Structure formats: C-alpha cells, structure tokens
Amino acid sequence: MDLIDVHSHIVPQRFPDNPSPATNSRWPCMHARNATEAAVMIGDKPFREIDSRSWEVSRRIDDMDRDRVSMQALSPMPELLSYWFAPSDGLEMARWMNHTIASMVSAAPKRFAGLGIVPLQDPALAAAELGRLQRDGFSGIEIGSNVNGVVLGDRRFDEFYAEAERLNLAIFVHALHPIGADRLQAFPDLVPFAAFPLDTALTAISLMRAGVPQRHPNLRIGFSHGGGAIVPLTHRLAQGWKVTNGFGGAMQEPPMYYAQRFFYDSLVYEPGYLRHLVGEFAPGQVFGGTDYPYAIMETQLRDFLTSAETVHRASLFNGAAKRFLALEPG
Amino acid sequence: MDLIDVHSHIVPQRFPDNPSPATNSRWPCMHARNATEAAVMIGDKPFREIDSRSWEVSRRIDDMDRDRVSMQALSPMPELLSYWFAPSDGLEMARWMNHTIASMVSAAPKRFAGLGIVPLQDPALAAAELGRLQRDGFSGIEIGSNVNGVVLGDRRFDEFYAEAERLNLAIFVHALHPIGADRLQAFPDLVPFAAFPLDTALTAISLMRAGVPQRHPNLRIGFSHGGGAIVPLTHRLAQGWKVTNGFGGAMQEPPMYYAQRFFYDSLVYEPGYLRHLVGEFAPGQVFGGTDYPYAIMETQLRDFLTSAETVHRASLFNGAAKRFLALEPG
C-alpha cells in the first residue's frame, strides 16, 4: 500500500549571505564538517548537526525505498522559517528555501511534494507570495505554531488564510519557539520533547476560538506531532463552549466539529494513542509523518501505522495525505 | 457504589485582613452580594462570583446527596494559594484556609477529606508546615502547577517532596497562572479552558525529567484535569528517553513507568478520552473530580464515569481516591 510521509524536513546545502548582518544575528549559515556532514550555525553557535539526507535527493530516495515510503512532503527545518527578520529578508530566505524544495521535487516529482515557506511576519507579503508557490507546483506551505509569539488565531493572519484557501494550498503547522521554553532552562532538552506539543495545541485552539475554520471552510490545516496536546484541550474547550453559549456566538459549531476537519500527522510514538487519535478523535484525518531525517524521527513508519490496528489504515497510509496535499487520487 | 470527588474547591466566607497592604496588591477580600452570594475581589477587581456552596457544609452535603457523591476532598480555590506574597503572609493565608477546611471536615468527617495549602514560595517553610497539617488530619495538600513561574521539577522543592513523602501526605497539583496566558489576550476565556491543561502537563513532565518520582517512590502525586495534556507529552518524552539514553541517566525508567504511578482526576469531559486515560495510559490511577462548585464543573460525575464503560469502574468511583488520600478501605 502506498505510504506518504507528510512530515519530513530539508535544509539546503548552503544559505544565501546575510542581507543585513548588522541586525540579523540569527541568520543561518552552513559549516561543512566533511563531504556529507555539516552544522547549521545560527549566528556563531551550532544549532544542529545534519547530513546530506537534508539536501540530497538520491539519498532520500534510497531511504524511502528501504522504508517503503512512496512519497515525502518536503518542508524546511522550522528554524529556517525566518519570521524574526525584516520581511524583505524573510522573503529572501523563503524564496531560497522554496527554490531548493522546487528543485528537489522536480528531480523526482512522483516521490516528493513541496511545502514552502512565506514571511508570515508580514501577512500581506506572505499572502502575495502564495501565488508564486501555487504556480511552482507546491502543495502547500509550512508555517510555525506562532509568529514571534503571536498565536495563529490572531486576526492579522486572516488575509493569508483567505488567500491559501482561494489557491487550494494546504497549511502544515509546525511547532516553533514554544511557550514554556523559558521555564525549562534547567532541562533544555524538554523544549522539543515537551513544549512543542503545547505550542501546537494552543495555536490550534486559538484558530478554533477565533473562528478561522468557520470563516474558511475549505482551508486545509494540518498539525505536526498529532496536533500536540490538542485532544484534551478540545474536550475542555467543548465544555467551555457549552457553558458560554459558544463563546457568545463566536463559534457556531462545537470544538469537535472543527477539530475533526483539521488534519494531524501520526508522529505520536505510541500505537494506542494513535488509534485513539485516528479512531475516536478525528476519524480519517491523520496522515503519516516521521520528522525524517532527525534523531527523534519515527524510523519505522509503516510498522508504526500498522501497529495502531485501526480500520483507518488506508487513510493513515495515504488517503488523508492525498486529501491534505490535494494529490491526484491513485 | 461509593463515589469520591477529589477535585472540589472551597472559599472561606471571609478572609483575614491584608497583613501588608502596601505590597500585597493581590490579597483577596470578600464582597457579600446578599446572604448567599459574594464576589471574591483580588485588589479592587472582582475575580469570581461565588455562593455559599463554597463555604457551607450543609449545602454541599445536600448537593452531594442529590448527586450521590459519598465524599469530597476539599481544596482551596487555586487563586488562594498565595505564592505571590511574602512567605510569612502566605503562611498566614494558608493557616486561615487550612483552619477553614479543618472545620468543614470536622463537621462531617465521613463526607469530607482535607487538602490544605502551604507557602511553597519558601520550600523550607512549606515543608515545616506539613507536620501541622498531618496532625490536623489532612489527607494531603493542593499545590499549584507552578510557583511564580517555576516548574515543580525544580530542585528547590526537593525537601518539600521528601517531607510530604515521609508524612504520607498526598499532593494534588492544580493548574495555576499558566504558560501561554500572555499569548491569549484576545481570548482571555481560553486561559482556563486551554492553557490550564498545558501548564499541568509541562510541570508533570518536569517532575519526571527531574527524577522526583524516582527519588520519592512513595510520594503520591495527583494531577487536576486528567493531567491536562500529559498523555501526548509522555509518549513524546518516551521517544526522547530512547534516543538520549534516559536523558544521560537522569531517568532510570521510561516515562510511562512514572506516568503510571502518578494519579489523575477524571475531569476530561469526554468518555472516550477518559476510557483511554484510565484504560491504556494509567490503569487504575484515575479518581473522580468535578471542580464543584464552579461553572465548568462536571455536573453528572456518576453518569460520566459510568459512560466511560471501563473495567476500571470501581477504581474510578473510589478505589484510586482511597489510595491517593490514604483513606481506610471500606
């Protein structure tokens, strides 16, 4: 059975020069360790050690063949989203990233789909860039779970959502610079492990509460890491919806209505919870995701999805991904 | 079947005078609306409208009889935890609250158990106060999910945990002033609905990561709101534990080992998720909880627990509560 991995990341082999070195202290650059290994530097600090799986099509396809993965959706490593630069600099990085992704997709269009990035710190600029992404064959965009601390339910993003809906581009929300990180200075390793799912869920709830899926019923929004902590939050929000008359009318339908129209990746690491997510919480709305090629990746996606022992197996393997990415069926 | 509600709150009919009015801008006071209704004021702002269910034993017992609840554990409304005052002022408020609770329990000792409070902003003072609580017949203490922004896994709280373990006092962790609140200014109603579960889960994970349940194997720790978002976080932490060799040895056992020794209340509002929580995540470790007498309360605890259709029904109704509160069996 076809298996699609919607959550995989790329890094280009090199970055453009810092356009504003006086102000952009977090502009990335690449330090090659050897022919196949490199460090992404943020300023003068190593941010992550990576290897050629991040940029080399042939190596990715070898791994996909080994793991029997039919297709990967390619999105940038989230630290490259570049919301913290001036919009014009963010746009320069976005175009560089999108060019890299488009090149990889064009090298093997049956094996890759593209999720580009846009400078969401300037929602109008981000919306305007979506047309180019659509013309270049992207399936959608990856966005952060917050934009410099602003949740995605903020009204400033409405025009961006409207344009993504109009252009039929999927939005894949990835955890980024999460809430709670400031409380974890004694345990920095908890930031990706524990705080990522919190940020994703908070932003998902803010989208529901703000009425984004209500105003944009055809917009496809998918969340990384199984929506993070979205399951318990949605049920609690539902109680709030009941006792506040739909938050004073802001939400016409109960939270589960919207939660079951969102998409989620399968990156939850535990078969019983995956079964709950895809079977009870959001039937048919969960697609495969691995976090390839990073250390925390789900290395056995096919086995993991099978282990959930759910009637939604076909949807998990490829059905939900095809709907999310708007791929031709079959 | 006996039904125990471990998550119910009290507020005294009046508060002590502010001992340090020059600095304690958040000291509570009570404005009576009429004979049975009042507003808790924090400074000059109404914080919550309450009624005599918060302080009147006979009215609580009437409600318990109506709902066929055998016993309530009484804990203060979390805003009264008073961590933001000088330790001596916090101790004064804690003793006032604990005196109120002890009086209510002594009025109907078969219907109530006590969960007191301590000034955890001074862990040594808090630890020293535990002896008095034990002598006064308390089953345990309620603590916030953070103490002025510090997660509960912080090493400063070790002596407090050691003393609670030694005195066989349960710790009930309640969400308080949560992470993410600063991002929800457009939607303040999301703070209790969405941010509470995030704070609870983050602090639970910090406890595991810091080795608290490993160092204090007999300490009983229970979490409000079903542990908040603890389920997805624990599974992701487990992946981190695998790829980091137990966080460099800090955690001997995998996260699920500790998660299954914590307790959780049933306040998750959705039968399928409750079934997952008590059946798959933490078998037998979930006790009843309602948030009585507040608007968001689970009004039909008996029906809700029954609707989960789990083999852990007896444990949900009273077994887990009896173990958590160290009540005599039967």
Q: Measure B273 CA to nearest chain A CA, in Å.
A: 8
SS3 A146: strand
Query: Residues with Cβ < 8 Å from B255, sequence gap 6 or more?
Result: B205, B208, B234, B235, B237, B238, B241
Percent of chain A at pLDDT > 90 equals: 97
Mean pLDDT of chain A: 96
Q: Measure A155 CA to nearest chain B CA, in Å.
A: 9
| Contact (CB, 8 A) for B27 and B81 | no
SS3 A140: strand
Long-range pairs for B278-285: beta carbons < 8 A, 24 or more residues apart = B278/B308, B278/B310, B278/B312, B278/B315, B278/B316, B279/B310, B279/B311, B279/B312, B280/A272, B280/A273, B280/A276, B281/A272, B281/A273, B281/B231, B281/B234, B282/B227, B283/B312, B284/B312, B284/B315, B284/B319, B284/B320, B285/B260, B285/B261, B285/B320
Beta-carbon separation of A194 and B237 below 8 A: yes
Beta-carbon separation of B233 and A194 below 8 A: yes
| Contact (CB, 8 A) for B106 and B125 | no
Mean pLDDT calculated for residue range A236-265: 95
Query: Chain A contacts of B190, Cβ < 8 Å?
Result: 205-206, 209, 237
* Separation between Cα atoms, residue B188 and residue B176, nearest integer Å: 14
- The shortest CB-CB distance from A229 to any of B146, B201, B280 is to B201
* Separation between Cα atoms, residue A268 and residue A230, nearest integer Å: 12
Query: Residues with Cβ < 8 Å from B241, sequence gap 6 or more?
Result: B247, B251, B254, B255
Q: Over its length of 330 residues, how does chain B's per-residue pLDDT go in tens digits?
A: 999 999 999 999 999 999 999 999 999 999 999 999 999 999 889 999 999 999 999 999 999 999 999 999 999 999 999 999 999 999 999 999 999 999 999 999 999 999 999 999 999 999 999 999 999 999 999 999 999 999 999 999 999 999 999 999 999 999 999 999 999 999 999 999 999 999 999 999 999 999 999 999 999 999 999 999 999 999 999 999 999 999 988 899 999 999 999 999 999 999 999 999 999 999 999 999 999 999 999 999 999 999 999 999 999 999 999 999 999 754
Could you tell me the maximum CA-CA distance found in chain A, to the nearest angstrom?
61
Taking the CA atoms of B316, B320, B321 and B327 in sequence, report the sign of the dihedral they define.
Answer: positive
- The shortest CB-CB distance from A194 to any of B202, B231, B268 is to B202
Query: Chain A contacts of B180, Cβ < 8 Å?
Result: 179-180, 198, 202
Q: Is B297 on the interface with A (CB under 8 A)?
A: no
At B44 the pLDDT is 87
- Work out the burial of residue B166: count CB atoms within 10 Å of its CB; fewer than 13 is exposed, 13-18 middle, 19 or more buried: middle
Q: At B148, list the tokens.
A: 């002025």
A58-69 pLDDT, tens per residue? 999 999 999 999
Tell me if the bond preceding B254 is cis, omega within 30° of 0: no
* Residue A3 banded pLDDT, cuts 50, 70, 90: very high
At A330 the pLDDT is 45
Residue at token pair 């709101």: B225
A-B contacts (CB, under 8 Å)? 181
Beta-carbon separation of B273 and A231 below 8 A: yes
Query: Residues with Cβ < 8 Å from B86, sequence gap 6 or more?
Result: B20, B23, B24
Query: Residues with Cβ < 8 Å from A15, sequence gap 6 or more?
Result: A27, A28, A29, A30, A93, A96
Query: Chain B contacts of A228, Cβ < 8 Å?
Result: 229, 232
- CA–chain centroid gap for B306, Å, is 23
Amino acid letter for position B197: P
* Separation between Cα atoms, residue A214 and residue A69, nearest integer Å: 34
- The shortest CB-CB distance from B179 to any of A179, A197, A243 is to A179
Q: At what angle do helices B230-243 and A196-210 cross, to 10 degrees?
A: 150
Phi, psi of A115 (to 5 degrees): -120, 105
- The shortest CB-CB distance from B183 to any of A179, A276, A280 is to A179
Nearest CA among B266, B274, B153, B265 for reference residue B202: B153
Query: CB count, 10 Å around CB of B99?
Result: 13
Query: CB count, 10 Å around CB of A322?
Result: 18
A15-53 pLDDT, tens per residue? 999 999 999 999 999 999 999 999 999 988 999 999 999
At A250 the pLDDT is 87
Question: Which residues make beta-bridge pairs with A5?
Answer: A72
Question: Which residues make beta-bridge pairs with B287?
Answer: B265
- The shortest CB-CB distance from B235 to any of A184, A201, A273 is to A273
Output the pTM of the full model: 0.96
SS (H, E, C) chain B: CCCEEEEEEECCCCCCCCCCCCCCCCCEEEEECCCCEEEEEECCEEEEEEEHHHCCHHHHHHHHHHHCCCEEEEEECHHHHCCCCCHHHHHHHHHHHHHHHHHHHHHCCCCEEEEECCCCCCHHHHHHHHHHHHHCCCCEEEEECEECCEECCCHHHHHHHHHHHHCCCEEEEECCCCCCHHHCCCCCCHHHHHHHHHHHHHHHHHHHHHCHHHHCCCCCEEECHHHCCHHHHHHHHHHHHHHCHHHHHCCCCCHHHHHCCCEEECCCCCHHHHHHHHHHHCCCCEEECCCECCCCCCCCHHHHHHHCCCCCHHHHHHHHHHHHHCCCCC
Question: Which residues make beta-bridge pairs with A41?
Answer: A29, A46
| Contact (CB, 8 A) for A46 and A40 | yes
At A44 the pLDDT is 87
- The shortest CB-CB distance from A187 to any of B184, B190, B206 is to B206
Optimal mutation site among B233, B268, B290, B294, interface A, most CBs of chain A within 10 A: B233
- The shortest CB-CB distance from A236 to any of B193, B210, B233 is to B193
Measured in residues, chain A has a length of 330
At B330 the pLDDT is 45
A193-216 pLDDT, tens per residue? 999 999 999 999 999 999 999 999
Mean pLDDT calculated for residue range A155-174: 98
Beta-carbon separation of B272 and A280 below 8 A: yes
* Residue A79 banded pLDDT, cuts 50, 70, 90: very high
Would you tell me which residues 150-209 of chain B have a C-beta closer than 8 angstroms to some C-beta of chain A?
Answer: 150-151, 153-155, 179-180, 183-184, 186-187, 189-190, 192-198, 201-202, 205-206, 209
Optimal mutation site among B145, B146, B187, B277, interface A, most CBs of chain A within 10 A: B187
At B250 the pLDDT is 87
At B329 the pLDDT is 56
Beta-carbon separation of A187 and B210 below 8 A: yes
* Residue A328 banded pLDDT, cuts 50, 70, 90: confident
